[in-house]
Structure 1
Amino acid sequence: MGITAMIPGTTIDGLLSEGKERWQDIFDADAMRMQVMLICPRKERKILEMHGDMVEHGQPVIGVFHRPRAEARLLEEQGLNPRDASFEFLDLATTDLGPWMQHMITSEQWIRGSVSIQPVPFSVDVPAQRAFENITMICFRHPSLPAIERYYLPFPPTSIPNKCFVSLPRRQAAELARQQAEILGVGRAAEPATPEPIIQEEPIAPSPEPVTEIVEVDEVTIEQPDSVPLPTVETNQSEGPQSVTDAITKATTDGFDEMQAAGDELETVDVPLPPVVEEPQSEIEIEFRALVTELIANGVEPSEMVDDPRWDSINERAAAVGFETWPVFMELTSVE
């Protein structure tokens, strides 16, 4: 399958002359090429533009559409209304003609014929034209359109300046087509200009002018403050220090006397201590204490007591009744 690109403002001859530079290895300058004419209903022109996307082909296929204007009446004289049809000229490799037209002929019953491409007569008012020799060309037309024998052009088919639709033969050429042309369907629509923000200035209300009020001096009443008597200071104090040094000395002496009195009071009070109640020892505890005491008396180190054959038996029975031997062991070994 191919991929179609649209290149504006060029001709078939111009693209062929730049084919090696544009498409590099995709374009074979030595391949034999030919031109054919296609006539389709105007409503199917878009399908014809994209036809290369659905066809396998080995070389680039270049197509250009022509719309009759001043020469339209010459087609009407042959029984074809030019407003009902679109006219395309294709330049393609001869090996690609069969795959390109296969679907149209087998499925849509397009009709193959021939047409004579002739220059527009000088009697027709065409401002720009160039004389060229008549060209007999293979023509494929849709079965709904009548056949014509002559088609008139102001320039040769490969020199018509217009938008050219190029179908490149391999999808891996898509990136190359994007760099050099406009991918069909994307278009060249100009990006909408970003509107400039409109700044609306709010009207500033004029500030009211200050009103100056004139007050007569006679109308002002000044209130007299109430007199507050000053506090009286007694000069003769019967108690208390007369200076800072005396105050510190007195406070220190009084505090020391109070602490000494409190200490003497604590010494005179004899608080009896609560009697120590010893919990009764279980049989397993008595047996464990006796074992540890015996081993200590025999000079066995605490770390070697676990090697005694009676140690494991007593510890197992102690664990069974919930007696913890470790605190007792630490008590006995630390005392010794």
Structure 2
Amino acid sequence: MGEVEIVESGSLDTLTMGWESYGKRTRIMMFGARADRHALRNHGRTVAIEDSAVSVFYRPRQERSELENHGIDHANASFQFVDVAMADLGRWMQPLIGQGWSRGEVEIVAASNASFETEKWTCFHHPAMIPPSEIPLSESPSSMTRKAFVTHPGPILDDASESAMDAIVSSMMSEITPVEDEKPEDVAEQPVEVEEIVAEPETEPIPLSEEDVPPVVEQKEESPLEAELRQVISLLLAGGQEMGDIMEHPQFVEVSERASAAGVDVWGMFVRLSDG
């Protein structure tokens, strides 16, 4: 599972600068209940992602009255903004979708005391927290500087070096308490019965023709593009999207175009996942 590093001061823009060169990334808003804030802080420890992710929390202050006008009770709401690799989005959200979280779209607009361009965010929200179409904030989520939670992929034992493995084995062996061999009690010798061995008649194998031998099916390794397409379709399905809506969703359209150009059977994968 992931390891969470706490950075005392940072923003999504500064902490993820240059990460796009290692793979496509996306940003989402997590609109939860205040009671879930501790769990959301440690959410990275519960998922197995392949690339680092960054999240920051925002606590409204000057814009509280404006939020109330939009139907948001700031005392009961939690605002978290996450930068995650596109390939990890499904892994990040799957546990929460299983708890009833849903997907939507919101616009982050500048509050009366702020000035920045309107930002459109994909928003995943707690079933008890329904976000409005617009959320006024005093800072842009991308540039707000706060305590940040950086989730790194957890250690994989298969990738451990020999020296690390030796240290692990040595540590395990040192915890094992040696047990003295128990001396067996004297047991009176019993006569050993010898069973008579009866030779079984040999049977000749029945020869098989080439037609009777089933062909060996080789498992085709899934490409990174196929994995990304699968993640996008699974995430949209889990979020309650209908088949027609998924086919028109910008996220699906973008990845399906790249997959089709690479020769991936997009429609076949779509049908298999939607039927499952």
TM-score by length of 1: 0.44
Alignment correspondent of 1:103: 95
Structure 2 counterpart of 1:31, from 23, 37, 45: 23
Q: Distance in 1 between matches of 2:74 and 2:149?
A: 21
Alignment check: 8 A CA contact 2:67 2:74 kept = yes
Greater share of helix = 1
| SS of residue in 2 equivalent to 1:97 | helix
AA of the residue aligned to 2:132: I
Alignment correspondent of 1:69: 61
AA of the residue aligned to 1:165: F
Alignment check: 8 A CA contact 1:117 1:135 kept = yes
Alignment correspondent of 1:3: 3
Alignment correspondent of 1:151: 135
- 1:13 Cα deviation after fit: 1.4
Alignment check: 8 A CA contact 1:55 1:100 kept = yes
Alignment correspondent of 1:133: 117
Matched, 1:165 2:157: no
Q: Distance in 2 between matches of 1:111 and 1:16?
A: 26
Q: Distance in 1 between matches of 2:102 and 2:74?
A: 18
- 1:28 Cα deviation after fit: 6.8
Q: Distance in 2 between matches of 1:78 and 1:146?
A: 11
Matched, 1:14 2:6: no
Alignment correspondent of 1:119: 110
Q: Distance in 1 between matches of 2:91 and 2:128?
A: 22
Percentage identity across paired residues of the two chains: 34
| SS of residue in 1 equivalent to 2:95 | helix
Q: Distance in 2 between matches of 1:47 and 1:74?
A: 27
Closer, same or farther in 2 for the Cα pair 1:139/1:28, shift >3 Å? closer
Q: Distance in 1 between matches of 2:135 and 2:147?
A: 20
| SS of residue in 1 equivalent to 2:130 | coil
Alignment check: 8 A CA contact 1:5 1:165 kept = yes
AA of the residue aligned to 2:33: P
Q: Which runs of 5+ in 2 are unaligned?
A: 157-276
| SS of residue in 1 equivalent to 2:50 | coil
Alignment check: 8 A CA contact 1:28 1:59 kept = no
| SS of residue in 2 equivalent to 1:82 | coil
Q: Distance in 1 between matches of 2:92 and 2:82?
A: 11
- 1:147 Cα deviation after fit: 2.4
- 1:166 Cα deviation after fit: 0.5
| SS of residue in 2 equivalent to 1:83 | coil
AA of the residue aligned to 1:90: V
Q: CA RMSD in A?
A: 1.6
AA of the residue aligned to 1:88: Q
Q: Distance in 2 between matches of 1:16 and 1:149?
A: 27
Q: Distance in 2 between matches of 1:86 and 1:137?
A: 16
Q: Which runs of 5+ in 1 are unaligned?
A: 20-26, 123-128, 173-336
Matched, 1:80 2:64: no
Deviations 1:221-255 (A, max 9, x none): xxxxxxxxxxxxxxxxxxxxxxxxxxxxxxxxxxx
- 1:152 Cα deviation after fit: 2.1
| SS of residue in 2 equivalent to 1:152 | strand
Alignment correspondent of 1:40: 32
Q: Across the two proteins, how many residue pairs are aligned to each other?
A: 156
Alignment correspondent of 1:93: 85
Alignment check: 8 A CA contact 2:105 2:120 kept = yes
